[in-house]
């Protein structure tokens, strides 16, 4: 679940804070932490942020900023809980390594030795090992999104859903060939822990981490606890607080915790407790990314996978000759970050409502640097690097070999044409790096106008040419961090015959609406999966999938790090004059093929026998009327405007009425044969 979310716009809210323990309120460390946390709340869209610092088992600093809820005077405290998103993977990694310590598991034996019902439509799956799942090198496509991200609900069939999804998939690369972020791998590890321990994954976490560590505020969605202990969370398209952010893939992203509880788990990851051996803790810090194709070798990077860790060489700590390991987490509503310094047994944890794991990592980095200076471990904090505009030089003609089409898993294909030593590059890295011009500066490198981003072309041993980006990103008020990654790979354009071209041209700009999501699904409220496809008919691609006939496209990209994550095949079919789409482990219907909702006063609709949702377009006569729906138990309905923004979702607002927008559409969600009684006025 490590998708990159854009930083939200700042919101104006009342601020509160508390900091205690070994630091005086006016100490430099306290002031630094308070200043950065205040910046996160006032400038980076965080409703609240919580942070804590530990040194050799002693909590040195614990504080927070912001408010528990925008409409409440309740303060944020050290016991306020947050979803930690993909930081949950470190709990799964610790659980796996505990089983290694107990002799129940060999990381380099085939996974099928332990979970015999794991199968894929690709014989290479038998080569996948637990190590490959931990370091993201299994070759598995990425994320089975269906019914994973829910509001205040649990999918009890999540593990079987993922196993069923994987049975239909082929691998995108040979196991162990390279590492690319893979959520489903950690669901497989969750299943592995349950099978080898003889208890549910949540029970294992409770008995092997929470109970021995005294974690009073660490829970999973399957646990019974007071949900009001969770900080309230918000999104821009809805004014009120949202229901509980629930991720049923617990090993991937479902843990709830606090900064102080996270620190205790970090002590386990450092090997300083009896719960995990020092040998296993050190093994988790190995530079696993070096085992395969990677865009950097030895240099610091925000991405440098270990076993579970996003980075085992986080900048800027290498400039102090200090190893730092980092793990970030981003769910829809909550964000988290943990950083450890193994040489000194020092760790920091940050959790927030809103924002992003990247900016939370900047808070953690700032706290650690200030503390290292206070202890005398470092003399001074190294200032951010200063860049100057690049000097353009004559480009050799040989660089023109890199002109062509480049594709990534979750973006529109881009046509790169180097003109007079310049590249016009669209935005990359989820928008953190804006669209801009890069000029040739020699030795195969192109630089942005401010000098902070360097592009190059890297033809790897697998024969694939990648666009490589190395960027020092500046976050005002927070600091600077280094990100090196492959943005996309060069692909051969596909000539489509007229019939195939016409079929895909008709899909350009069309919306495809989910049919198989539970009534509580967050996918129905936020665009985790875009309704429009990134179709490039001219070159024959849908994002990173290659069009092979009128109704199918198969994944064609093999990109290490992150831009090659969450790949999928697409399959269309027709039924009852409507077009359907299957991708990931979900089914969709073309919005244009759905009927108009009945504009009379009274009507009803029934969920289909196969459980598919019912979707309707809002016709001219029905527009601007108010709909009232009598909902079956545990069902929902949602209304969208013409821009695909959800303007009303009964799961979120608890309302059974809504105004129908002009040119909008409406969906009804429940179980097979559920009947919805509808009134329009």
pLDDT tens by residue, 35-44? 999 999 999 9
pLDDT of residue 26: 75
DSSP-assigned beta bridge partners for residue 626: 659
Task: Identify which has the larger pLDDT, 20 or 573.
Answer: 573
Phi, psi of 252 (to 5 degrees): -85, -40
24 pLDDT band, cuts 50/70/90, is low
Cβ(507)–Cβ(547) under 8 Å? Answer: no
pLDDT at 22 over 50: no
pLDDT of residue 459: 97
pLDDT of residue 529: 86
Contacts 24+ apart (CB under 8 A), 339-345: 339/314, 339/364, 339/365, 339/368, 340/266, 340/269, 340/270, 341/317, 341/368, 341/372, 342/270, 342/281, 342/282, 342/285, 344/55, 344/56, 344/372, 344/377, 345/55, 345/56, 345/57, 345/267, 345/270, 345/272
pLDDT at 9 over 60: no
pTM of the model: 0.94
- Please give the average per-residue pLDDT across 539-567, as a whole number: 98
pLDDT of residue 641: 96
Task: Identify which has the larger pLDDT, 296 or 662.
Answer: 662
Cβ(465)–Cβ(402) under 8 Å? Answer: yes
99 pLDDT band, cuts 50/70/90, is very high
Q: What percent of the chain clears pLDDT 70, i.e. is strictly above it?
A: 96
- Please give the average per-residue pLDDT across 642-669, as a whole number: 97
pLDDT at 1 over 60: no
| Average pLDDT of the chain, as a whole number | 94
Task: Quote the tokens at residue 645.
Answer: 């923004």
pLDDT at 297 over 90: no
Task: Quote the tokens at residue 567.
Answer: 């790949």
25 pLDDT band, cuts 50/70/90, is low
Cβ(394)–Cβ(441) under 8 Å? Answer: no
134-170 residue pLDDT tens: 999 999 999 999 999 999 999 999 999 999 999 999 9
62 pLDDT band, cuts 50/70/90, is very high
Q: What percent of the chain clears pLDDT 90, i.e. is strictly above it?
A: 93
pLDDT of residue 6: 34
């Amino acid at each position: 679940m490590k998708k990159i979310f854009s930083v939200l716009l700042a919101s104006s809210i009342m601020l509160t804070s508390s900091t205690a323990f070994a630091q005086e309120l006016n100490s430099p460390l306290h002031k630094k932490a308070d200043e950065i946390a205040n910046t996160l709340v006032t400038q980076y869209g965080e409703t609240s942020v919580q942070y804590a610092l530990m040194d050799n088992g002693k909590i040195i600093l614990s504080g927070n900023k912001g408010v528990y809820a925008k409409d409440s005077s309740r303060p944020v405290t050290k016991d306020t809980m947050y979803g930690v998103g993909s930081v949950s993977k470190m709990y799964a990694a610790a659980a796996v390594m505990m089983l290694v310590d107990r002799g129940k598991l060999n990381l380099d034996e085939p996974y099928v030795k332990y979970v015999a019902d794991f199968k894929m439509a690709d014989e290479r799956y038998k080569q996948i090992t637990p190590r490959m799942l931990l370091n993201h090198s299994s070759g598995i496509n990425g994320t089975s999104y269906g019914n994973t991200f829910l509001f205040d609900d649990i999918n009890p069939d999540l593990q079987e859903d993922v196993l069923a999804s994987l049975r239909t998939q082929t691998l995108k690369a040979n196991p162990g060939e390279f590492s690319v972020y893979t959520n489903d791998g950690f669901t497989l590890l969750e299943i592995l822990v349950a099978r080898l321990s003889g208890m549910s994954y949540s029970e294992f976490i409770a008995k092997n981490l929470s109970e021995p560590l005294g974690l009073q505020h660490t829970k999973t969605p399957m646990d019974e606890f007071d949900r009001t202990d969770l900080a309230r969370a918000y999104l821009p398209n809805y004014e009120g607080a949202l229901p509980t952010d629930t991720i049923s893939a617990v090993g991937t992203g479902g843990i709830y915790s606090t900064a102080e509880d996270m620190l205790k788990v970090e002590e386990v990851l450092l090997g300083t407790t009896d719960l995990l051996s020092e040998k296993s803790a050190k093994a988790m810090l190995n530079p696993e990314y070096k085992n395969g194709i990677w865009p950097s070798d030895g240099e610091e990077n925000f991405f440098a996978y270990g076993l579970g860790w996003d980075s085992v060489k986080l900048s800027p700590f290498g400039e102090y000759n200090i190893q730092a390991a980092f793990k970030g987490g981003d769910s829809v509503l909550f964000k988290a970050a943990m950083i450890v310094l193994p040489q000194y047994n020092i760790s920091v944890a940050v959790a927030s409502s809103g924002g992003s794991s990247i900016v939370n990592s900047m808070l953690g980095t700032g706290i650690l640097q200030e503390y290292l200076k206070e202890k005398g471990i470092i003399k001074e904090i190294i200032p951010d690097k200063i860049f100057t505009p690049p000097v353009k030089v004559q480009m050799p003609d040989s660089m023109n070999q890199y002109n062509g089409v480049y594709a990534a898993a979750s973006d529109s294909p881009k046509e790169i044409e180097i003109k007079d030593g310049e590249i016009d590059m669209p935005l990359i890295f989820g928008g953190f790096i804006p669209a801009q011009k890069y000029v040739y500066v020699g030795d195969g490198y192109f630089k942005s106008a401010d000098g902070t981003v360097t592009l190059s072309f890297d033809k790897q041993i697998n024969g694939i040419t990648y666009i490589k980006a190395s960027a020092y990103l500046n976050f005002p008020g927070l600091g600077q961090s280094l990100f090196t990654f492959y943005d996309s790979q060069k692909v051969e354009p596909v000539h489509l015959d007229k019939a195939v071209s016409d079929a895909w041209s008709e899909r350009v700009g069309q919306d495809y609406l989910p049919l198989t999501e539970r009534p509580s699904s967050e996918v129905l409220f936020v665009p985790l999966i875009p309704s429009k496809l990134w179709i490039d008919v001219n070159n024959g691609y849908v994002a990173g999938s290659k069009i092979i006939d009128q109704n199918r496209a198969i994944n064609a990209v093999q990109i290490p790090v992150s831009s090659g994550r969450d790949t999928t095949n697409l399959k269309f079919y027709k039924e009852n004059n409507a077009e359907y789409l299957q991708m990931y482990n979900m089914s969709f219907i073309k919005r244009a093929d759905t009927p108009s909702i009945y504009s009379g006063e009274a009507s009803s609709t029934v969920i289909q026998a196969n459980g598919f949702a019912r979707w309707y377009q809002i016709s001219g006569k029905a527009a601007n009327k108010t709909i009232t729906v009598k909902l079956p138990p545990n069902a929902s309905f949602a209304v969208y405007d013409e821009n695909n923004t959800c303007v009303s979702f009964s799961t979120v607002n608890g309302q059974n009425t809504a105004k129908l927008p002009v040119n909008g559409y409406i969906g009804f969600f429940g179980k097979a044969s559920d009947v919805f009684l509808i009134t329009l006025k």
